[in-house]
Amino acid sequence: MTGNAMHGDVGVLLLHGFGGEPFEMLGLADALASAGFAVSAPLLPGHGQDVTAWSRTGFGDWYGAAREAYLDMQSRFGRVFVMGLSMGGTLSLRLAQEFSPAGVLTVAAPVFLYRLYPLEFSDWRLPFVRLLRHVRPLWPVSPPKPRSREIAPWKGYEGVTALAPLESLLRGMREVRGRLADISAPLLALHARGDRTVPDSNAWEIVRRVSSDDRNLVLFNVAETVTSRHVLTTHRETRDGVARLAVDFVSRLVGNGTACP
């Protein structure tokens, strides 16, 4: 997916999450395109196909595709912003460690899914994924309930998690976390308090450890108790706020809008 822009020297790369599709970035893409910025939201390898294809891919494949998309935008635009939801945010941080984007915006991005000190995890099985993948490569999970899907629409793999890609993601996150200080680009981290998929302490970790002089954190309060409070780009309580903050972030940095809080 791509979009044209009135601001011909500015491009925004949007990266979807683990097991998801560019669908979860469409609202954000529309808001940015309406503000006059060129957007690209590629489908990452192994996604949008079947679980077998997903199982054959890993962090290197996803980052390779994100890197290629970034370099393509860099060849066409003077300034490129990177934004990502969940794993897409992790990939955005990795791009900022290798390149110098005009800005980085993460939405519910993980640099860890569990840690032993202080003890924190969203699923007790996460520390054992490396072993479990050999016992049960495809781990059954409960699909979202219709009410949850109504509140926070999403498209992607359901009913199962491929553990080989998950293990690769965990390793990739550790590498990104270890190099957060390499990031000096302007950064805006968005997260929801009580995110049940990616602990909101990730946002604090990111903002605390990057070297960016321009860095901000926004935590959303989500009232409902049905969803995981994770897919903020489509969630009915947060999607408009995420889109507004993203447009303000880019506009401020290119000098034609107001600053985000």
Residue numbers in the known binding site for substrate are 18, 87
Residue 86 a catalytic site member: yes
Selecting among 40, 47, 86, 92, the annotated active-site residue is 86
Q: Quote the tokens at residue 32.
A: 């940015």
Binding site feature residues:
18, 87
Please answer whether residues 3 and 38 qualify as being in contact, where contact means their C-beta atoms are separated by less than 8 angstroms: yes
Please answer whether residues 12 and 37 qualify as being in contact, where contact means their C-beta atoms are separated by less than 8 angstroms: yes
Q: Which amino acid does the sequence have at 56?
A: R
Please answer whether residues 253 and 223 qualify as being in contact, where contact means their C-beta atoms are separated by less than 8 angstroms: no
Q: How far is CA 147 from CA 20, 159, 171, 204, 225, in A?
A: 19, 16, 33, 30, 11
- Type and span of the H or E element at 216: strand 215-220
Q: In what order do the strands lie in the sheet with 10-15?
A: 2-3, 38-40, 10-15, 79-85, 103-107, 187-192, 215-220
Selecting among 47, 191, 195, 200, the annotated active-site residue is 195
How far is the C-alpha of 102 from the C-alpha of 104, rounded, in Å?
Answer: 7
Selecting among 16, 47, 191, 230, the annotated active-site residue is 230
Q: Quote the tokens at residue 106.
A: 């993460």
Residue 200 a catalytic site member: no
- 215: how many CB neighbours lie within 10 A of its CB? 19
Is the dihedral angle over the CA atoms 95, 46, 49, 73 positive or is it negative?
positive
Q: Which residues belong to the active site?
A: 86, 195, 230
